[in-house]
Amino acid sequence: MNRIDRWFLEHAAPAFTGFTVAGDPDPEASVRVARTLVDAGVDILELGMPFSDPVADGPVIQRADQRALAAGTTPDAVFAIARALRADAGVPIVLLTYCNLVLNRGIGQFYRDAREAGIDGVLIVDMPVEESDGVREAARAAGIAPIFLVAPTTSAARQDGIIARASGFLYLVSVLGVTGTRNRVAEETLAFIRQMRSRTALPLAVGFGISEPEHVASCCEAGADAVIVGSAIVAIIERHLGDEEEMMAALSAYIATMRAATGEAPR
């Protein structure tokens, strides 16, 4: 059984998912960052594969991608980072990437390499679900969950198509636009979570703009099975680039506070 499926089967409380860009601020340090996130309580780890044109991401994650690329982080380096983490971490690992990186490597090879690295799910942010047949075939052959985005503007018919093709969880985009922290979770977002909850039994993970414990609690109360926090974590890394000890301490404190808002007792 895929580690993502197992996690949701074995836990009643929502999952806290933490995102970091693999290779930020450099490949070796990013392994230490990811281990800190897991040690602090992240239930599912999401790794971003740095890309030169991350159209779904706001400025905080764009700068992290630039730092990772400048430090020499290639797709091979990302898979090596995942292997290093898998050696001592049992949490599910999800890879967020873009179509160009998958196609350049070759779809089958990309998923074989992801499987060998211990990755459990892949989200290709800019891949339309209508063009996903080859990717889904390769993903399922590798035992990797194909994860898709659903936005508040997604039509009911397209939601049905995504639900039919997805596994692992559905990634619900909480706001229109790109990634980045927001001041609050809008009532429209909570209604969107409730609406999707009525349409599918797949776990629902809410991301984009989640940065405060109150955001986590609101999404969980509305029926989310997971919350995904990215920009707020990456911003902590950016603020402490000159002091790794302070960086890790700040990350640990933030993750502990945010995870507590899911209602799950600390591990």
- Angstrom CA distances, 62 to 14, 49, 178, stand at 28, 11, 11
Average pLDDT of the segment spanning 205-219: 92
Known catalytic residues? 46, 57
pTM: 0.94
Residues 222 and 192: beta-carbon distance below 8 Å: no
CA pair distance 230, 210, nearest whole angstrom: 8
CA pair distance 267, 42, nearest whole angstrom: 10
Give, to the nearest 10 degrees, the angle between helix 27-40 and helix 244-260. 30
CA pair distance 156, 75, nearest whole angstrom: 35
Residue-wise pLDDT tens digits, 157-178: 999 999 999 999 999 998 654 4
Residue-wise pLDDT tens digits, 1-49: 899 999 999 998 899 999 999 999 999 999 999 999 999 999 999 999 9
Residue 184, pLDDT score: 60
Domains of the chain from N-terminus onward: 3-260 (3.20.20.70)
Residue 175, pLDDT score: 65
pLDDT band at 267 (very low <50, low <70, confident <90, very high): very low
